[in-house]
Amino acid sequence: MEKMKEQNNLYEQFLKYSYEDLEESFKKAKTKEEQDFYIALSDIVLQKEQERVIGKNWWLRILYLQV
């Protein structure tokens, strides 16, 4: 149960970061692994923003347009 609280806390912390914050952290990263970590988090932030702007089913619309 304690692990779940920690995970929720980690998620809450993640939500506080903007794309710009993560970009700055990427620039300050000292290792490739750390850069990859910040890139992955940045991708999640961008995906969430896409969902907000385009709609939750944006990928279905793209698939529909390709058919």
Rounded to the nearest 10°, the torsion over CA 53, 57, 62, 65 is -110
Q: Write down the pLDDT at residue 49.
A: 86
In contact, 17 and 41? CB cutoff 8 Å: yes
pTM over 0.75: no
What is the mean pLDDT for each group of 10 consecutive residues in the chain (67 residues)? Answer: 71 91 96 97 90 71 67
Give, in degrees to the nearest 5, the angle at Cα 34 between 33 and 39: 95
pLDDT of residue 31: 97
What pLDDT is recorded for position 17? 93
